[in-house]
Chain A
């Protein structure tokens, strides 16, 4: 590794400016809407305006008669295209609940695609789409996942699955408990809502028999594999291309009906087909997330130890099961115990379909929901036991001595094993930094003076770096320029910068001399994309291992040319020289690359080119951890909540770029605040979505978003990765709702008042008036 004396700009731990930024601040980004191909058609989707019903007929004749319309499709035009399959492969138990690209026989939510119009320009496509008439015979609408399940196609019920996880004897533990504390807690339906709506362009290169899709994001390689399976194409004849992506958050880049349609249409209509979503569509068609109701009980011992946890939850999956299958149910039940010991545990998830937009993952899926629920319960335990909320948590935290701490729980096929970490130690550091005891005194004084102010805490553990493997390639050309090719994805998180910093560390160059390729399935066979906070952990480690291999090759070749041994050499700013004599004989990486060309007489028995490809295999995910503390002020007249102060403590293991990590935490928190206080997809009893514009779906602006104080520690590098890296993408959001709810309870002096998010002014006014406040 580079030593302190020869550090170039942009090595590990440096908060350097991002490689991504120059094109983005000058308008040179290439987002999907910016990409066009000659002769392209524009697609517009006609969507169901019924939440549930039988499709009696679809009349496309008026639309087809519009000049400029090339085709109008319904499901009968693509009856050979199977429903959209699961990312992790086929699952016969869930297959029935998958969504067709265009609705077949039934519509199951408002927004369900029923027809597709293809026209010469987008305005014409939209005009014609309005002329398609859909005749639907309404069926009973199911809005609440905790109501009785209904029939599903005469073959099953809407309870698509029951996911249960746990360990230990629940009945005995609760029968002998000193006290049992129960809460009934709801998380609202909300989702990622990136600023860029979705988009996709299908293009079929008939000459080469290659089908291409532009506008891919998040998991281009996985979606390529699914599309190949669905459309019966070889992997070499199907390529996905990621451009700039205007935010991901888990929802962008999954394989949606529209993505399948542009691909199929490009092949059959023999012209490129472009689809750009509008915001109204986005809010009723892109994945929703989060909606769960938990009825959860804690069995508590006399000293405040929670000896058992028993949870039953209803997950509102919406109209179909999309690419994730039951992953959110799995992550919720697998991570609910969080940072606490809980020696006996059971969670039963009723995974149920309703007649709303299909749901899937949104930043911190499962952990966001379960952390809110668990931390609400911990506050309730504190009240029931007449204990301090911090003391109750401390009593139950897994200790450093018990680490690594395994549990008989599964998270995405990985048995949970907590990385070593000092949960209580970080709590001490956090409370000291924020001055918790003084804060309590100040808040008590202000409450005594009539103000509704309070503080709350939420503790959590995160997961990151889901395996099993990822690879990377590095190629250095004879000018010395370095290309790092990955199967990762860039959704705005700074992927290119992080990978370049990691590669620069071992290649001894400035990070700005490195081009990072991602999201192009024709450049590398395999890729994990960007999700589950895995890009830096998994792809970053693969890049590091590859850079080490390329460095070794460069030094080996240089040693021969400089008539010395490799161990006497190092690389500084792209130049190989003697460690002892930096100004002595030297070679640039470009000169070494030249010596390694296939025709080079100096090649000897070596493989040609200054390049490498290495893989990283991880046996367990990494489990970073932290806590959030919120201080809020409630306005009893309006029901408004003002966040006066916010604090996040997080152990990252090892920082690549602290500036970007803090950016992830602050940005995640803004979304957490949205979920806690504002964002909610509400529906009428008939299943009509009531939040389909930004006037109804309220996202935080600058005025509602706190600028948090952050304590970023590197006390416990992960034992799972050679660099000690843990992920950073989700910790900013995970603890937010729990901390804010706890602070609101404290501010209004009503323990356990908040049982549902978002804590909108209406909900808070109702709570206050019910308690005579």
Chain B
């Protein structure tokens, strides 16, 4: 196998020094070597979006990026969303609006929505639908996911 390379990933504010094979995906590094299993793999070919994380605040499909490419970058995953015991408005909205059933795609939707609401706090309903249609959910039929993200957007806007 190929030689390992030492990298540093900052995951949810904590530095992880990992010796990685260049072919390891970012998702595998986060899950298997940083111990953060909240990021899920749904297809490993960049379509379902379950593995979405924020890399330097931008939503990224962590199955399509190699761990070495994230060296020195700031990664945010679902484990870092809540502030201690206080839920992020999106987490709260997902629970209140029954926007999850099995919960497998949920971390990907939460991180996608976090990225977009931070970048565009005033995003319109239509544009939000456009963005959210890039991830797949098999349980909810999406209606409650839309409601939850809109509710979180409105709450985050009111709080800012």
Q: Which residue of B lies closest to A694 (CB)?
A: B47
Can you name 15 A-B residue pairings with CB atoms under 8 Å?
A: A21-B95, A21-B103, A24-B106, A26-B78, A31-B40, A244-B103, A246-B40, A246-B102, A246-B103, A247-B104, A492-B103, A666-B140, A666-B144, A701-B136, A702-B146
Query: A699 — which chain B residues lie within 8 A by C-beta?
Result: 136, 138
Please encode chain B, from 41 to 55, with 1 for each CB lying within 8 Å of some chain A CB and 0 for all others: 111110110100000
Further contacts, 18 of them, CB under 8 A, given A27-B107, A705-B143, A707-B141: A24-B103, A27-B78, A28-B38, A28-B79, A29-B37, A33-B37, A34-B31, A195-B50, A195-B102, A195-B138, A248-B102, A278-B44, A667-B101, A693-B45, A702-B142, A703-B133, A707-B146, A732-B141
B-chain residues with CB within 8 Å of residue A247 when the two chains form the complex = 101-102, 104, 138-139
Question: Given A33-B37, A196-B42, A249-B138, A26 and B79 touching (CB < 8 A)?
Answer: yes
Let me know if A37 is at the binding interface, CB within 8 A.
no
Is B96 an interface residue, CB under 8 A from the partner? yes
Please tell me if A671 contacts chain B, counting CB pairs below 8 Å: yes
Q: Is B62 close to A, CB under 8 A?
A: no
Cα(A33)–Cα(B98), bound, Å: 24
Verify if A749 is at the interface (C-beta below 8 Å from B): no
Classify chain B: how many residues form its interface, as a range. 35 or more
| A20 beta carbon closer than 8 Å to chain B | yes
The CA-CA distance from A27 to B39 in the complex, in Å, is 7
Asked if B5 is at the interface of the complex by the 8 Å CB criterion, the answer is no
Residue B119 at the A interface, CB < 8 A? Answer: no
Instruction: Known A27-B78, A667-B139; judge A493-B144 contact (CB<8 A).
Output: no
Per the bound structure, the CA–CA distance linking A133 and B57 in Å amounts to: 45
Residues of A near any B CB (own CB < 8 A): 17-18, 20-29, 31, 33-34, 123-124, 192-197, 244-249, 278-279, 491-494, 659-660, 663, 666-671, 693-695, 699, 701-703, 705, 707-708, 732
Q: Closest chain B residue to A28 by CB distance? A: B38
Q: Which residues of B contact A26 (CB under 8 A)?
A: 38, 78-79, 81-82, 87, 91
Which of A23, A197, A671, A702: most chain B CB closer than 10 A? A702
Contact of B38 among A29, A196, A659, A669 (CB under 8 A): A29
Residues in B119-156 with C-beta less than 8 Å from chain A: 129, 132-146
Q: Which 6 pairs show the lowest CB-CB distances between chains A and B? A: A27-B38, A492-B102, A24-B103, A246-B104, A670-B141, A666-B141
B100 contacts chain A at the CB level, 8 A cutoff: yes
Residues of A near B8 (CB, < 8 A) are: none
With A27-B36, A27-B38 already in contact, the answer to whether A694 and B136 are too (CB < 8 A) is: yes
User: If A279-B42, A660-B98 touch, does A31 touch B138 (CB 8 Å cutoff)?
Assistant: no
| A493 CA / B38 CA spacing, docked (Å) | 20
In the assembled complex, the Cα of A22 lies from the Cα of B86 at a distance in Å of 11
B21 at the interface (CB under 8 A from A): yes
Collect the chain A residues with CB atoms within 8 Å of residue B137's CB: 195, 670
Smallest beta-carbon distance A633→chain B, Å: 18
Please tell me if the beta carbons of A666 and B42 are within 8 angstroms of each other in the complex: no
Which B-chain residue is minimally distant from A695 (CB atoms)? Answer: B47
